[in-house]
Structure 1
Amino acid sequence: MSDSPVVGVVGADADAVVAAVESAGARATAGTAKRVVEDSDAVVAVGEPALLAVARTGTDAPVLPVAAGPGVRSLPREEVATGVADFVAGDYERVPYPLVDVHVADRTRATALFDLMLVSAEPAQISEYAVERGDDRVARFRADGVVVATPAGSSGYASAAGGPVLTPDTDAVAVVPVAPFETDIDHWVLPPAGLSVSVERDETTVHLLADDRVVGPVEPHEAVHVAPAGSVSLALVAAGRSPFPPA
């Protein structure tokens, strides 16, 4: 970074991060994602909600995630002093993490960094779901829901449901049934372009979720289309957490 860079800090309980930025010789400015990214050379996002808010701004600045989960190799809070010092000094790897847009009825309904999900509004209510890519029917199955996870989100809910963990350079998403009726069922790693998921039966209300937001209900046979939506540039420092479990 340049001399005395301005580092924006977004998120709750960020006093230690602000202090670490200033101790490393940079100027810190704290506030909402929209305000901070306009005036900063780089950004520290503290917590998953802050990282999602920063990603949605479309910023090109490098973003250091703190306590935002292993899927983005985020910096643990106990390593803030060391990790922020490396960030300010430029000692990090800048890696683009892909975003996806979600389209329903030809409208962009949401942008996701981690995942999108179709899931029954009531717990333990099964419906039928379809996965398609272009003209190909990939699968049809009965389950509580289906999650489509980006590389950043693949180590979260999708992994807990049995899906694979993807590295950020993987040009694909993981598609994973949630609590499927059949126990021996596939999971799929597919390019996001041309991908769609849908509800196939009018049995129960199904909601579309994108990251931390409930987008709204989805009607039966209404395709939810996924499309690449650029990326957010994350700064990976040596003290960041790996998305893979320790050996």
Structure 2
Amino acid sequence: MRFGMSVNMNIPDAPRMAKRTLELLKGHEVLLEKEMAERFKTKGHRLEDMEVDMMVTVGGDGTILRALQHNNAPIFGINAGDLGFLTVVSEEELEEGIENVLRGSYELEERIKLQTTVGDKRMMDAMNEAVLHTAHVAKIRHFQVFVDGEMAMNVRADGIVVATPTGSTCYAMSLGAPLIDPRVEALVIAPMAPFKFSARPVVVPASSRITVQVVRPKECVVVVDGQQELLMAGNETVEFKASPERARFVSFGKGFYARTREKLMGTLC
């Protein structure tokens, strides 16, 4: 197999764990990102140029999101951070995880990605969510949200979050949206700090076309997975829909509910 590797060098333990991973992958070709390659005095590569069978990430969820913005290879996520909800192994599980990958004893779990278009500008696909919010602190905006042409929300709020099932455990969850099993083909729309209590998160089919307009246009910002940001004048229509591309994650059989209990709810749930 041919592997790519992306490492968050800002996490203290990540370089050491990456070195151990390289030792376990000895005999297989591994392409390193430039910053990591410099440390090992070898040739570095850009993520988007890596033609690999699998992308190994060492860091947290942000490391995975960044890799997915630039490469569509299946993700094998090693947690070197705090939460690591999208990662598949911890440091203690690393050796067994690599052995399973090399034996082919794993499954690939597909996840919906979100496509965002602002006016005529297509943004990068989101694994978790896209956020449309006011460009100025403590200034609310008036948003109208349409689902397949029918108005679903007419609300004054700090912003609107549109999330995938994967993203339902992230920003959307903090806004009161439900957790969605990633096997469910759906998207969730959640207003941020709405000015009326009746404005609640809405779950819609993944086949839906969601459009958002800013009433009385004023500057807003669209942020995709915390990775890409676009300032808009406020008179553009923002469209969200499921991307034709899917993200793929290495899985060893641990289900969504077990991960949710362990990572988000603690051991008592």
TM-score relative to the length of structure 2 = 0.77
Larger RCO: 1 or 2 (CA < 8 Å, sep 6+): 1
* % same residue: 23
Superposition deviation, residue 179 in structure 1: 1.2
CA distance in 1, matches of 2:25, 2:53: 15
Structure 1 segments unaligned to the other structure (5+ residues): none
Unaligned runs of 5+ in 2: 9-13, 34-45
Distance in 2 of aligned mates of 1:184 and 1:97 = 31
Distance 1:102 1:150, change over 3 A: same
**Aligned partners of 2:114 and 2:163 also within 8 Å:** no
* Deviation readout 1:182-231 (Å, 9 max, x if unpaired): 234221111343111222234x5311111123432233342111122210
In structure 2, the residue matched to 1:62 is 74
Matches within 5 A, 1:75-114: 75-114=89-128
Cα deviation digits, residues 66-109 of structure 1 (max 9, x gap): 33855535433443333333333322221111112211223313
Q: Give 1:116 shift.
A: 0.3
Cα distance in 1 for partners of 2:149, 2:69 equals 31
Q: In the alignment, does 2:233 pair up with 1:237?
A: no
CA distance in 2, matches of 1:78, 1:198: 48
Match of 2:221 in 1: 207
- Find the counterpart in structure 1 of residue 55 from structure 2: 43
- Matches of residues 1-247 of structure 1 in structure 2 within 5 Å? 5-12=1-8, 13-23=14-24, 27=28, 28-31=30-33, 32-35=46-49, 37-38=50-51, 40-46=52-58, 47-59=60-72, 61-67=73-79, 71-72=85-86, 74-192=88-206, 193-202=208-217, 204-229=218-243, 230-237=245-252, 242-244=259-261, 245-246=265-266, 247=269
**TM-aligned CA deviation for residue 25 of structure 1:** 5.6
Counterpart CA distance in 2 for 1:131 and 1:14 is 44
Deviation at 1:110, TM superposition (A): 2.7
| Contact 1:199-1:219 within 8 A present in 2 as well | no
Distance of aligned partners of 1:239 and 1:80 in 2 relative to their CA distance in 1, 3 Å threshold: farther
Deviation at residue 161 of structure 1 after TM alignment: 1.1
Which moves more between the two structures, 204-213 or 41-50? 41-50
Q: Evaluate the alpha carbon distance shift between residue 86 and residue 25 of structure 1 in structure 2; reply closer, same or farther with a 3 A threshold.
A: farther
